[in-house]
Amino acid sequence: MISRSLFASSLKLHQFIFLKPTVHLLSSFSSSAHQDSHNLYKLNHKDWLSPNEVLEIFSSLKEPTSIISVLNQYSQRRDYKPNEALFTLVINQLAQAKSFDAIEQIMQRIKHERSCRLSEEFFYNVIKIYGNQAGRIRKAIDTLFDMPNGYKCWPSVKTFNFVLNLLVANKLFDEIHEIYLSANKLGVEIDECCLNILVKGLCENGNLEAAFYVLDEFPKQNCRPNVRTFSTLMHGLCGKGKLEEAFGLLERMEREGIDADTITFNILISGLRKQGKVEEGMKLLERMKVKGCYPNAGSYQEVLYGLLDQERFVEAKKFVSQMINAHMSPSFVSYKRLIHGLCSEKLLEDVDSVLKQMVQQGFVPRMGMWRAIIRCVLSDNNACKNICIDEIFAS
């Protein structure tokens, strides 16, 4: 029989274990709500608010729709003295809530009040929000141009280049030239990054002649083209089938002491593949190693696709082994095309070898691949013993 004192002790222990956390949770929730209410209450109180207390009030707001009204309330106080930290916090909160119209209201308030000095980094953040999150490219451009006169802050080349790159990414090629010509007016000194963005935009727009004109502008702007400059131009040339000119740029790079990187070589190998020059692609692959620029999976993959394009399936099978020995894994598409090709030529032993290799590389054969293999096997019953499908499944 359980004594009364033992029962009472057990009841207290039960209450401690099961009731305390609930009480603590409610208490915490109540405390949080009380704290938010207390923070907003501070705005109606006559006590002077420190900058950190103001930030705390705005950080505690749960509804972004109330930010503007709270800011208006704060602006009526005698100690109203906003700073960059406050405006940055408010704008980031509005951006997170996708309240982009409200951000424009804040920017107009800043321009009208001129109550604090704002750094260039502040405007870079606003322009980035307009461009990347809001998709308001025109507002990003307008903010850039408005910085010197409207906000008394000069843009840096970092912000200038961001806007240029934004235009290229959105294929607004007609706007790029206008922005570039405004560099002096905005107090921006052109750098290599800026010129590279122009080259990229012109190449993507198919205007290679103008892109090469920009290349000639590098020394005039006290800039030096780099490997990215030449790679972009090579990509544009290869896209138009001008391989000879692309290799001419490679020679120019070597003369000017600019080392080609893996991306550069991959562009050229891809260009060779598109013209069916697989052997030249293989030679370039070896040339990379001699230059101390080691191929990556993309380098090998372009050569492999070149062999598959020309239906040289036995050579492609050997090249896949070279890739694996170099610790590069061929793509699933490569294996699919290779197996279908080997099946079309009734090379069952090679199919068996490649299929096992494919599974070892972590790929799972799909139904279409099995159908091709089975059709190939059934077309020559004597060859059925050369492939062990059960073994593949067991793998």
Q: Are 224 and 253 in contact (CB under 8 A)?
A: no
Q: What mean pLDDT is predicted for residues 324-347?
A: 93
Q: Which two tokens stand for residue 282?
A: 């293989």
Residue 336 lies in a domain: yes
Q: Which of 205, 203, 229 is nearest to 217 (CA)?
A: 229
How many CB atoms neighbour CB 368 within 10 A?
Answer: 11
For 47-91, write each residue's pLDDT tens digit.
Answer: 788 889 889 888 888 887 888 888 988 888 888 899 999 999 999
* Residue 158 maps to a domain: no
186-195 tens-digit pLDDT: 999 999 999 9
Query: Do both 286 and 343 map to the same domain?
Result: no
Q: What is the mean pLDDT of residues 149-154?
A: 94
Q: Bigger pLDDT: 26 or 100?
A: 100
* Boundary-marking domain end, from 284, 310, 336: 310
Instruction: Give the residue among 152, 165, 81 at the shortest CA–CA distance from 123.
Output: 152
Burial class (CB in 10 A: 0-12, 13-18, 19+), 293: middle
Written as six digits, the tokens of 305 are 């696709």
pTM: 0.79
Note down the domain range covering 278: 226-310
Q: Is residue 261 part of a domain?
A: yes
**Contact (CB, 8 A) for 262 and 299:** yes
Both tokens of 347, joined, read 């090379």
pLDDT, position 382: 54
Q: Is 267 left (phi over 0), alpha (psi -120 to 50) or beta?
A: alpha
Q: Which of residues 254, 278, 310 is at a domain's end?
A: 310
Which three-class secondary structure state does DSSP give residue 242? coil
How many domains does the structure of the chain reveal? 2
Long-range contacts of 303-308 (CB under 8 A, 24+ apart): 303/269, 303/273, 303/278, 304/330, 304/334, 305/273, 305/334, 306/272, 306/273, 306/276, 306/277, 306/278, 306/281, 307/278, 308/334, 308/337, 308/338, 308/341
What whole-number distance in Å separates Cα of residue 331 and Cα of residue 304? 10
Indicate whether 301 and 263 sit together in one domain: yes
Q: Among the three residues 275, 310, 345, which one is the final residue of a domain in this structure?
A: 310
- Measured distance CA(273)–CA(296) in Å, rounded: 16
Does residue 232 register a pLDDT over 90? Answer: yes
Same domain? 230 vs 303: yes
Residue 118 carries which DSSP code? -
264 domain residue, yes or no: yes
pLDDT at 11 over 50: no
**Would you give the distance in Å from CA 97 to the centre of its chain?**
22
Residues 6+ apart with CB under 8 A from 272: 243, 278, 280, 281, 284, 306
In a domain, 76, yes or no: no
On whether residue 370 sits in a domain, the answer given is yes
Residue 249: inside a domain: yes
Reply yes or no on whether the pLDDT at 31 is more than 60.
no
Task: Give the model confidence (pLDDT) of 80-132 as tens digits.
Answer: 899 999 999 999 999 999 999 999 999 999 999 988 899 999 999 999 999 99
201 falls within a domain = no
Task: In whole angstroms, give the CA distance from residue 239 to residue 226.
Answer: 20
One domain, residues 305 and 377: no
Q: pLDDT tens for residues 264-299?
A: 999 999 999 999 999 999 999 999 988 889 899 999
Rounded CA-CA distance 13/15 in Å is: 5
Question: What's the CATH number where 236 sits?
Answer: 1.25.40.10
Same domain, 341 and 304: no
Q: How far is Cα 57 from Cα 174, in angstroms, rounded to an integer?
A: 45
Q: Are 137 and 167 in contact (CB under 8 A)?
A: yes
Q: Over the chain, what is the mean pLDDT?
A: 86
pLDDT at 372: 87
CB 358 within 8 A of CB 333: no
